[in-house]
Each structure stands twice: as structure tokens, then as C-alpha cells.
Amino acid sequence: MTETAPTANVPAPGRGPRRSSWTGYAAFGWAAVYGGFGLVCALTGTAVFYRAAEPLPVGLNWAVVAVAVLATMAALAVVRPWGRRIPRPVVLVTLVALCVLSGAAAFGLLMDMVTFAVNQTVDSWTATANRALAAAGVVLLVATTRSWRSSAYGTCPRCGAVHASSAARSRPEPTAAPRRVRALAYAGALAFLPYAAMKTTWALGGTFAGVSGAQMLAISERNGASGVWLTMAHWGIDATALLAVLGVFLILSLVRPWGQVFPRWTLSLRGRRVPRWLPLTPAMIGAATLAPYGGAGAVYAALGTLGVVTVPRGDLPTPGDALLVIWIGLGAFAVYGIALGVVAWSYLRRTRSVCTGTEAEVRS
């Protein structure tokens, strides 16, 4: 006699418990806070969007309110029964669009974090708060999208596949990324070498692009660099060069097996698996910031090289020196940012938990 085990753990589309409820309510709470923030800033005339240190028109604040209102409606559609009457593709497209819009609003958060780390301040606390809130929204909206899709389409919330029985979760063994992904990671790491060399040359008192280390230190002081930054510079250490080294370590750890296991010197954590969010969080933020920032800068440098636009020399002796520094700096960001995005996606897929034991037949 053969019996088939019950299959109640994966509800049919549109039926059963709404696994997306808690994420939907969390997204609803975020939308209320974010909308209130945007509304207050709009009514008080406080800009929340900045380009570098320059505030953009206050009227753009209403875009925050609009995104929050749309997110509120989407969250309610996820958690309330009436939301099931809305075509699933409409809800899915809306949630994905909100993720993209929130991600665009969060752009620049990495730069704010770096600025705060070395200068203990940022250009605008309001703009930084807007970016941080938007980044939190991205996380909650992505979680809501995943859990809602699982509930609506009857897929497994763990692995995203469709199977008819309960299953144990298993994380794959640490593996290296495919050869092409590793090659791209190495290219991203190598792209930072000229940048680190340039910054280290100035930190050690050398001259590059017509500017000496002493001149660069004076420029930093004039621009309001913090005491920590200036102290490190006096010791011959450039903070951004150190961040570049950390970036190289991050991208290499995402493509090699050793990046998925805590090393021996971590004592109590020795040999344990590294939580996926730990490397993925800085990788996603870094890729979302550096790839568009560096890409736009590389296009600008190319137009300047071709004579289409005029590149101001700034604190450098000639426009040619400015172009050289732009190519080295923003070119490194572009290559590294794109490589980091591809590598992070590969890591996400390779380390994704899989369900085992989906064969649910019991023979007697």
C-alpha cells in the first residue's frame, strides 16, 4: 500500500496563510515613516536631495511622498484580502518599481558613510537621513516582494522552487565562483591598484599629477578634513587607500571558498559558515553606488578627453592633470563597481539554501 504525504506546507496561489504578512506590515510601517519625513521636509522647505554639497529643488521632496503613498498601497494590497483581487503581475511590477525607486533615492549613502568615517560629519544630515530611510525601504520592499511572490505563486519561500512537501533546508558547501566571474573579480581588484598607488604617493609626500603631498595635505585642511584624516595623512596613511584595500578583500572573498567560512583566528567562530548578509550587504551597497558613479565619471572623462566638454582643473595645475586623476579614480570605481555587482549576484546564487527531501512518499 502506498500513501502520499500531505502537501499543506505550500499553499496554492491566492490561498492559505499569507507568508508575506509580517514583511508587508513592516513595509507599511516604513512607508508611513518615510512619507511623514518627506512631507515634513517639503512643508518646511528643507531639501532632501543633494548633488554633492549642492541642494536640489525642494519640490523634489514630493517624490518621496509619492513613493511612500504608492508603497503604502502596495503593502496594504499584500496584507489585506482585497489585494488578492488585483492581478498578480500588477502587484509584482509595482513592488519591483518601488525597489528601484527606493534604491535610486538611497544612492550616495556609501559616500556619506565614508565621509562620516573619516570626517565625523556629512554634507547634509537631512540628505543622509533620506538615503538611510530609502535604503531601509529597499530591504523591506525586497523582502516583501519575495514573500508575497512565494505566497501568491505557491513557491517555496526558502528556495523559490515549487515542490509539494515540506523540506529540510541545506546550504551548499563552499565553492569558488565560475572562472569568468573570478576573472572579473580580479580585474576589479587590479583596477584599484593605480588609485591606491596615487593616493599613497601623496600620503607619503610624493608628487603626482603636478601636485605634491604637502600641497594635497594643505588642500585637505582647506576643505575641512577631520583631525583623524589629517593625522593619518601625517603618518603617511591615506584613508581612501585603506578602503580600497578593504574593497579588494571583499571582492576576492566573494569568489573564493575561504570567504564563506570564518578563519581559524576567529576562535569561537572558527570553521563556522559566514552569514550571507555579512558580505552581501556592503557588496550590494558598494555596487549600487560605485558602478553608476564611476560609470558616469568615466563617460565624463571620455568626453573631456575628446574635447567635447571642458574639464576644470580644480586644485590641479592643468586640465590634463585633472583628467588623469579622474580616469584613475572614477575609472577604478566603474570597473570595480560593475565587477562587484556581478560577483555579488554569483555569490547570492551559489550560497542560496536549497531544499532537500522533497520526495514525500511513504511506503508501507
Strand partners, 54: 51
For residues 51 and 148, membership in a common domain is answered with: yes
Is residue 224 over pLDDT 50?
Answer: yes
Q: Is residue 20 classed exposed, middle or buried when 0-12, 13-18 and 19+ CB atoms within 10 A define those classes?
A: buried
Whose CA is closest to 73, among 65, 85, 83?
Answer: 83
Whether 213 maps to a domain, the answer reads yes
Amino acid identity at 171:
R
- For residues 70-86, average pLDDT: 92
Please say which residue of 138, 166, 194 terminates a domain.
166
- Predicted confidence (pLDDT) at residue 19 exceeds the cutoff of 60: no
Residues 183 and 161 in one domain: no
- Domain assignment present for 90: yes
Q: What is the pLDDT of residue 140?
A: 94
Could you tell me if 228 and 313 lie in one domain? yes
Share of the chain above pLDDT 70, in %: 88
Question: Cell 503613498 identifies what position?
Answer: 69
Residue 57 lies in a domain: yes
Structural domain boundaries, residue 71 = 2-166
Of 213, 198, 184, give the one whose Cα is nearest residue 327: 198
Identify the pLDDT of residue 17.
41
Instruction: Tell me the residue type at 322.
Output: A
Work out how many domains the chain is built from and give that number: 2
222, 264 Cβ separation under 8 angstroms: no
- For residue 278, give every residue at least 6 positions away whose Cβ sits within 8 Å of its Cβ, in sequence order, or none: none
Residue 118 has pLDDT above 70, yes or no: yes
The mean pLDDT of 124-132, rounded to a whole number, is 94
Q: Which of 166, 192, 214 is the last residue of a domain?
A: 166
Looking up cell 484580502 gives 81
Does residue 302 have a pLDDT over 70? yes
Q: Are 157 and 19 in contact (CB under 8 A)?
A: yes
- On whether both 129 and 198 belong to a single domain, the answer is no
- Do 14 and 162 sit in the same domain of this protein? yes
Q: Which residue has the higher pLDDT, 226 or 37?
A: 37
Cα distances (Å, whole numbers) of residue 157 to 22, 31, 145, 188: 14, 24, 11, 33
> What are the pLDDT digits (tens) for 263-279?
877 777 777 889 998 99
The length of the chain is 364
Q: State percent of the chain over pLDDT 90.
A: 55
| Mean pLDDT rounded to a whole number for the chain | 85
